[in-house]
Amino acid sequence: MSQQQSNQPARVPKRIASVIINSLKGGVVPRIGLPYITVGREREIAALLHDLSLVQDGGASFRFLVGRYGSGKSFLLQTIRNHAMGNNFVVCDADLSPERRFQGTNGQGLATYRELIRNLSTKTRPDGGALNLVLDRWVSGIQTKVTVEDGIKPDDPTFTDAMERQIMKITSQVQELVHGYDFARLLTMYWHASLEGDAETKANVTKWFRGEYRTKTGARQELGVNIIIDDADWYEYLKVLATFFHAAGYNGLIILIDELVNLYKIPNAISRQYNYEKILTMYNDTLQGKAHYLGIIMGGTPQTIEDRRRGLYSYEALRSRLTQGRFAQEGLADMLAPVIHLEPLTHEELLVLIEKLADIHAELFGYKRTITQQELVAFLSAEFDRVGADSHLTPREVIRDFIEMLDILYQNPTMKIEDLLQGDTFKKPVETPVEEQAALRSKKTNATSSTTAQTGDNGTDEFAEFDI
């Protein structure tokens, strides 16, 4: 009986099932419920979990996840995000965009920092906005430590002095870092405001930590400090936060950055190089031991990383560090290297995945699943028999087609799967994803401008990408 029960799929709550189905049909990764649909990626997940253990021990890590559009980069990032929160890490994530980069003349770097802090999450606050929760937990933890370990009650006259000594022990850990002194001063300010019930000062300190002060004058008037987080030094404060989070009782800070392609799309070559230089700084800090309790994972397409004209490999210092060695080859990928290339899911893994989705769909809409194993195999065969499937078909498109098919069958009970699979619409060739089409057009344009510059047609390559 127990064996029979273990073979049955776990029941998915309707709220989570709805998020899973709607998100995947819309082509995005659900923020919750990933364990119900995770298949494959065992080696990649094991490598990233090893990184978490290094961060927990006081080290730092840096990884690139590289894969085509729809290959599962974002899914893997969300999976690691959930693992990290479950293991008592503080996690923050952000998608890069034209307004959010690592460096820019219009505050794009600070915008990325603000997005990361806005999405700060913990196990008890998984949806972001956990900064005040962490700060309050830190204050409460110190009070508990003084009460339990030192045996000093809150009404004791020496309680405040004992609290001050404990705070000094913690803030001394961050004072050694760049900007650590000012950070420690603001932490002390937050503790005093908590002790005195000063909600306004607590709000102002939180505002400062979020990077929301635009001028030093505003920070000086409200907090009495002459420094703010700006576009030039926001990353330094993330290193300070990582050390503080560990002192506050967490295992460290994990930063997840997706959509690196938005750096690849920057039209100005100098701006791109500045952003790649910031990535190099992060990379060096984590691998050389200059950062502690900090893990960074970034996701991008192969062209974003490997294009030697506009990608990360156009920055020689990064290319020399990230290029694979001579022994790595198909089937022998090095999962301990800084760049993890995502291999496509196998047909067997996709079969397991769509079977899980069929069960979840049936539970969500309250009907008995009738689709058979043979019909699932027939669906995958029809998908991969299409022209262009070998080079362009991604798990995202397969999943989207499958959920759409389930929806149609549910709404039209008399229709059979064979009728849908044999239709002319389903047999259309697989088109290149829109994002990849844009990248190919950009590559052709760059090649043309490069050729024009080399032939001396009224200009040079330096000005071919000039951006006003």
Give the span between the Cα atoms of 310 and 287, in whole angstroms. 25
Instruction: Single out the residue of 238, 239, 240, 242 nearest to residue 253, CA to CA.
Output: 242
Give the span between the Cα atoms of 353 and 359, in whole angstroms. 10
Instruction: Single out the residue of 286, 238, 277, 240 nearest to residue 62, CA to CA.
Output: 286
Partnered with residue 90 across adjacent β-strands are: 253
Phi, psi dihedrals of residue 90, rounded to the nearest 5° = -90, 130
Give the span between the Cα atoms of 262 and 98, in whole angstroms. 6
Give the span between the Cα atoms of 5 and 134, in whole angstroms. 40
3-state secondary structure of 343: coil
Is 0.85 surpassed by the pTM of this model? no
- What are the pLDDT tens digits along the chain (468 aa)? 444 444 455 688 899 999 999 998 888 888 888 888 888 888 889 999 999 999 999 999 999 999 888 778 888 999 999 999 999 999 999 999 999 999 998 999 999 999 999 999 999 999 999 999 999 999 888 888 888 877 888 778 888 888 888 888 777 878 778 888 888 889 989 988 998 889 999 999 999 999 999 999 999 999 999 999 999 999 999 999 999 999 889 999 999 999 999 999 999 999 999 999 999 999 999 999 899 999 999 999 999 999 999 999 999 999 988 886 545 555 556 667 889 988 877 888 889 999 999 999 999 999 888 888 998 998 888 888 776 566 567 788 888 889 999 999 899 888 888 878 876 665 565 555 544 555 455 555 544 444 444 434 443 444 444 443
DSSP string, 44-111: HHHHHHHHHHHHHTT-EEEEEEE--TTSSHHHHHHHHHHHHHHTT-EEEEEE-BTTB-SS-TTSHHHH
**Through-space distance between the first and last CA atoms of the chain, rounded to whole angstroms:** 71
Q: Copy the structure tokens of residue 271.
A: 């701006």
